[in-house]
Structure 1
Amino acid sequence: MYLEQLSLTDFRSYEQVDLSLSPGITVLVGSNGLGKTNLVEAVGYLSTLGSHRASTDVPLLRFGTDRAMIRARIVRGEAQVTLEVEINAGRANRARINRANPVRARDILGICRSVLFAPEDLALVKGDPGNRRRFLDDLLVTLLPRHAGTRADYDRVLKQRNALLKSARAQHFSRAGVSEGHLATLDVWDQHLAAAAAALLAARLDLVARLQPHLAAAYEQLTDGTKLLRAIYRPTMAADGAPGDGADDGGGPGAAADLAGLPVGDLAQAYLRALGESRRRELERGMTLVGPHRDELDLLLGSAPARGYASHGESWSVALALRLASYEILREDDPIAANEPILILDDVFAELDAKRRTKLAAMVSGAEQVLVTAAVAADIPAELSGAQIQVIPGGVVTGGDQAAAEG
């Protein structure tokens, strides 16, 4: 799979920009602040309907506008697909496939598969658990688009249940106390939350199991191989439904292994038991304390957690390994060469020493399409020499255009 054409209208810094691309390696070069990352961010958005730099869509709209457009032509073997995504301020986004009638934006998920590594990915190692949960869920959606609905269902139910708990907490501190009506309604929302949580947890546990061998292999190739990188999912409950108290006190390292063997229906029952045991604390705090929204993905280098113990160089390698493992999972899921995901390396090489640059270049040079951004072309290893596009204020200049202009 490769991106042949990208067109942006009122996206980030661009009023209008059109970019033609080819299979193989393309390097986008330009000074910082000119919009290199904006271009690859748009490609990533087509894969996940989210930005790796912003938690909402509003910053993606060029300042002073209320709509942005991303148009792309994707080539998969002999087939071509044209995608359009309209990002709107204050209303639902829309999409088109091959210029047909508008559809829900999430209906395009799975058509353009990409894996993007950026400096922000250091937060996967050094940041709070929410960054790692989002990493898992974004990969889930790219791998199996139906999980966009799984995640949306869970978020919706969680929001409703938290609102009820907050209201019940206010009553708890009044003279009246928590009403029977609140408790009965909470029982209903417990059922909904347990079902949604079980579906999301089962998907995450399966994904982490698939991720592990690729993660260890990628880290070994990037480094001297003296430390093993492992990912351990830590849920907020044990298999018997015993609750923890958030990501810092979950079911323990062994809980995920026990839970992984359970059917979704059994997971839902375990959640119901955990919610029942946590109800008093939840009413006191006015929030849901059990569920995938509080789980953790522990990253261990040897026997020590990467967060807090890994050096800066090791943290970069761990973050890179997570993305490279994601790429391998997507390749493994669809082994047809024409369906390989697009690999994006945004401003990566400036932060790596010469040895890691060479190792990373060797690992990715065989991908069908690699998009690389750099402020200085000299930062790119020789193994990744390819087409070069110069990013200038408000637009781009391809190699042919630049030669013509100079002539």
Structure 2
Amino acid sequence: MHVSHLTLHDFRSYGAVDVALEPGVTAFVGRNGQGKTNLVEAIDYLSRLSSHRVATDAPLVRSGAPQAVVRAAVVKDGRTAVLEVEINPGRANRGRINRSPLPKVRDLVGLVRTVVFAPDDLTLVKGDPSDRRRFLDDLLVLRIPRLAGARADYERILRQRNTLLKTAGAARRGGEGALATLGVWDESLARVGGELLAHRLRLVDDLRPFVGTAYEAVARGARRDDAAIEYRASVGVPDDREQRTASTLAEAILAGIEERRRDELDRGVSLVGPHRDELLLSLGHGDADGSTRLPVKGYASHGESWSFALALRLASYELLRADGDDPILVLDDVFAELDTGRRAQLAELVAGAEQVLVTAAVPEDVPPALAGVRYTVADGTVTRDA
């Protein structure tokens, strides 16, 4: 899979731009603030309908413009499809395939798949649990696009339930109406949450061996067993993986909600469900029983933390490849953050991907292993180098 053409209208700093792309490596080189990251961000947005840089759509639309359009010609198995998303802050976005409107914009999710390496990846290791949950859910949706709907439903249910909990907490002194309504939202949260939890658990099991292999590849002197990931749920999870079904986990979430009912009413927030879970990252020294493992956050050195973050991205790439498609790799200003050794290791590991898109402030930041097509980005123009 690769993108053969990218067209932007009123996206970020660009009023209009057209860029022809090829398989292999393409580097966008330019000083900070010239718009090189905007190009790769647009492709990533088309993949997931969210940005790796901002939390909302509003900053994606050029100042003064009512909407932005991202259009890309995507080649897969020798066939080309034109994917398009119209970004309308404050209103519903719209999606098209080959100019034909889609019933739901999220039908675009997963049609083009990207894995993005960026300077902010260090938050996967050092950031809050929400950063690691987002990492899992983004990857999950790329593997199973229909879960974009479940993810959106869960977030909507959670907002509604939290609002009701605040009301119900006060209602304990004056009425039972809100408490009765709360039961309906309990069922909804458990049902959708059980589905998400089942898929997350399966994803972590599938991802685990790739993380170990990737860490061994990027960390000096590391062994495959050094890096480990484990999923910690806010409810009890059966040891038998065959029993970790959506319905079984929904029952566990309902039981957890009942157990924490008083605390939830007192605090006015939902304390049980996938939104309270954590992806645990740990490092050891090749010990099979994990007896000397320590959490990466708070114990790993800066270099080890970077290696673990890179391993998570590389593992994501390899897992998606194992599913049958080469995702598009985006290396967004990441080489400037790495020392010479890790820079060379990462370049060698990804050089064979079907399509690699690199951004860099100066040509020297692009490793020799990623020599390919190069564009200069300056003053709102994108020019292919001779």
TM-score under structure 2 length normalisation:
0.94
Aligned to 1:376: 362
Q: Secondary structure at the match of 1:397?
A: strand
The answer to whether the aligner puts 1:208 opposite 2:204 as a matched pair is yes
* Aligned residue in 1 for 2:266: 284
Check conservation: 1:157, 1:192, Cα contact below 8 A: yes
Amino acid at match of 2:181: T
Aligned residue for 2:318?
328
Cα distance between partner residues in 2 of 1:273 and 1:102: 39
- What letter matches 2:141 in structure 1? V
Decide whether the 8 Å contact of 1:259 with 1:267 is kept in 2. no
2:309 to 319, 342, 345: 319
1:156 positional shift: 1.5
Deviations 1:313-343 (A, max 9, x none): 2222111111111111111111xxxx31111
Secondary structure of 1:284's partner?
Answer: helix
Which of 337, 346, 352 does residue 366 from structure 1 map onto?
352
Corresponding residue to 1:199 among 173, 179, 195:
195
**Which ranges of structure 1 fall in alignment gaps of 5 or more residues?**
240-254, 401-407
SS at match of 1:290: coil
- 1:180 CA displacement: 2.3
SS of aligned partner of 1:3: strand
Please list every run of 5 or more consecutive structure 2 residues that lacks an aligned counterpart in the other structure. Answer: 285-292
- Distance, in Å, in 2 between the alignment partners of 1:362 and 1:267 is 42
Please tell me the residue identity of whatever aligns with 1:343.
Answer: L
Question: Deviation of residue 357 (structure 1)?
Answer: 1.4
Distance 1:317 1:340 in 2: 22
| Offset of residue 119 of structure 1 | 0.6
Contact 2:27 2:373 in 1 (8 A): yes
Match of 2:22? 22
**What's the % identity of the aligned pairs?**
56
Written as runs of structure 1 = structure 2, the 5 A alignment for 1:66-81 is 66-81=66-81
Q: Say what the alpha-carbon RMSD is for the aligned residues.
A: 1.4
Name the counterpart of 1:126. Answer: 126
Corresponding position of 1:219: 215
Tell me by how many angstroms 1:102 deviates: 4.3
Structure 1 contact 8–17 (Cα < 8 Å) conserved: yes
Written as runs of structure 1 = structure 2, the 5 A alignment for 1:5-404 is: 5-172=5-172, 177=173, 179-226=175-222, 228-239=226-237, 257=239, 261-302=243-284, 303-334=293-324, 339-400=325-386
Q: Distance in 2 between matches of 1:27 and 1:53?
A: 19
Cα distance in 2 between the residues matched to 1:213 and 1:179: 53
Q: Is the 8 A contact 1:219 1:225 kept in 2?
A: no
- Distance change (3 Å), C-alpha of 1:102 and 1:198: closer
Separation in structure 2 between the aligned mates of residue 113 and residue 262 of structure 1, nearest angstrom? 28
Is contact 2:215-2:222 (8 Å) kept? no
Q: CA deviation at 1:113?
A: 0.8
Residue 18 of structure 1, CA deviation = 1.0
Displacement of 1:271 in angstroms is 1.0
Secondary structure of 2:100's partner? coil
Query: Partner letter of residue 74 of structure 1?
Result: V
The answer (yes or no) to whether the contact 1:208–1:231 under 8 Å persists in 2 is yes
Q: Does 1:3 align with 2:30?
A: no
Distance apart, 1:260 and its partner CA: 6.9
What is the CA-CA distance between 1:182 and the residue it aligns to?
Answer: 2.0
How far apart are residue 259 of structure 1 and its match? 6.8
Counterpart contact for 1:162–1:288, Cα < 8 Å: yes
> So what's the TM-score if we normalise by structure 1?
0.90
Q: Is the 8 A contact 2:171 2:178 kept in 1?
A: no
State how far apart, in whole Å, the 2-side matches of 1:277 and 1:133 are: 24
Q: Does the C-alpha gap of structure 1 residues 184 and 259 become closer, same or farther in structure 2, counting only changes over 3 Å? A: farther
Q: Report the Cα offset of residue 235 of structure 1.
A: 0.7
- What is the letter of the counterpart of residue 293 of structure 1? H
Give the conservation status (yes or no) of the 8 Å contact 2:81–2:97: yes
The 2-side partners of 1:371 and 1:48 are apart by: 17
CA distance in 2, matches of 1:142, 1:345: 18
Q: Distance in 1 between matches of 2:14 and 2:305?
A: 33
Distance 2:283 2:298 in 1: 11
Shift of 1:383: 1.0
- Give the 3 Å change call, closer, same or farther, for CA 23–93 of structure 1 in structure 2: same
CA contact (8 A) 1:95 1:104 kept: yes
